[in-house]
Structure 1
């Protein structure tokens, strides 16, 4: 008999889900209205909400509401209502590169997430199967890569305006916890390319990111186009942020963390279904315990990850 893998030993009991898109939210002042995908379990009430912020990849559709199915489906199957926006940097929108916030639209990204929370009533009207089933007191955010930067701002990380040094604060108090997947790190370790093309990264400050946060980083994710600090750069939100924080370092993982941005994604350099399964289950377990204090899911997940004969990664907490 085949022995269970470390990821498979992390507790999991999925249920059927539904997914609807696009749900279009009016967005005055935005270049286009905000389109979102909504996924949720077919049954159950008082569903916690998780917002997923996509990365800025080279694929046409992964950086949109059509990406990150491995995460969205898994979280919905484990009791979350999942909402995924298409940010303005998505290639699906083909917006003008002359926009002052192009190409990454880092401000608009954070505003998108706030707009979703402002319009939960509209989402429930559009997705009638979800009406009356949301627990708006339990909201979390997940972001991968550039989406991790978006999530970090919502969780309390700050920036400074480059022209005058004033503080930029997108902290969202309705968001109670978050997960940063392969997120950018400190601003003094940028590559020359990143410093010249994405200078806003240089002012990031994690010292006020007080919300409970899980940081997930791959020990092979050197991201040379963004940083000169190597894989450890992606652990900075944990190292430089105040407690409570946890860090999962996945062994042999690259920027795609095994392939979380989509099923069978060609751009994934470290394709590994077991690693994806570990990210799915660790993410769910962390958010479950963060939103429901006393729940044992996170402790059980940590034990399963690190207690195997060949662990998939290591966990630190503070």
Structure 2
């Protein structure tokens, strides 16, 4: 990100309600945007387990400063709602998460109106981005499906408004779930063979999940098993929160590194600016930097 972007003032508006049916708890979103500018692209962001619209400021603020309007829903699994693994509602939350993103996309115009941004946004340039469980959620909007116990793909949740996506530390596939995950998170079996929408996959080379018997390569499945075009950014020493993308000094950050967080944030904005045809400079620069990074991060394309 250049100095001009870093100096861009941003504004945040919350909470904004989004209409849903049968959810039990109102769906609310936070909108973060540049204070100025027009024809702004949109990122709809899906948080990881237990987080909310108030997390991930190190990413969201940087994206807004780079010229994006970011819409963050609070999913039912947010810790503020108190729905744990033993709650009978937990088994279907993965579906509610997907419905949340559909509701945001279907009501995007009204959300922007309430945030006072409708005339400044290009609603034809919409991306979906997610971290961890949010990555799997976003994957379904790009065309991925969820395998049932027999290995049969479930329904298609792809959304036509989403032109591109970014999956950060997203669930892998295969019969490699640990006993705990198999019992409590059986939906963590994505089928990426139908994820046709263009996407960037972001992984950590040291991301070892307690949910899978595989190592860090589990998080590369979205790249290797989905149809092109796809790109993958690997942060060689990155762990699951990739330096602390959910927030500064949060408890689950095991590899705190602000520079690593900035790299992830800027890679996402560079990728989306490129695929939206707005500016390819930063994406080309990141490709060049990867070639000379001494292996600190890798960038692949297919």
Q: TM-score band, normalised by the shorter chain?
A: over 0.9
Cα deviation 1:23-65 (Å, max 9, x = unaligned): 11222221112110000001111111101100014xxxxx000
Q: CA deviation at 1:95?
A: 4.1
Cα distance in 2 for partners of 1:159, 1:78 equals 33
How many aligned positions are there?
301
Contact 2:13 / 2:32 at 8 angstroms: preserved in 1?
yes
Q: Which runs of 5+ in 2 are unaligned?
A: none
Q: CA deviation at 1:239?
A: 0.8
Contact 1:155 / 1:210 at 8 angstroms: preserved in 2?
yes
SS state at 1:222 partner: coil
Cα distance in 1 for partners of 2:167, 2:147 equals 21
Cα distance in 1 for partners of 2:290, 2:147 equals 38
Is 2:113 the partner of 1:125?
yes
1:13 alignment counterpart: 5
1:314 alignment counterpart: 298
Greater length-normalized contact order (CA 8 Å, ≥ 6 residues apart): 1
1:175 alignment counterpart: 162
SS state at 1:105 partner: helix
Cα distance in 2 for partners of 1:164, 1:248 equals 29
When normalised by structure 1's length, the TM-score is 0.89
Cα distance in 1 for partners of 2:80, 2:174 equals 29
1:220 alignment counterpart: 206
Q: 1:38 to 1:174 in 2, by over 3 A?
A: same
1:66 alignment counterpart: 54
Contact 2:91 / 2:184 at 8 angstroms: preserved in 1?
no
Match of 1:41 among 25, 28, 34: 34
Q: 1:302 to 1:164 in 2, by over 3 A?
A: closer
Match of 1:88 among 69, 76, 84: 76
Contact 2:77 / 2:84 at 8 angstroms: preserved in 1?
no
2:130 alignment counterpart: 143
1:60 alignment counterpart: none
Coordinate RMSD, CA, aligned? 2.1
Q: CA deviation at 1:73?
A: 0.4
2:275 alignment counterpart: 290
Q: 1:221 to 1:77 in 2, by over 3 A?
A: same
- Which range moves more in the overlay, 20-29 or 271-280? 20-29
2:141 alignment counterpart: 154
Cα distance in 2 for partners of 1:253, 1:200 equals 25
When normalised by structure 2's length, the TM-score is 0.93
SS state at 1:207 partner: helix
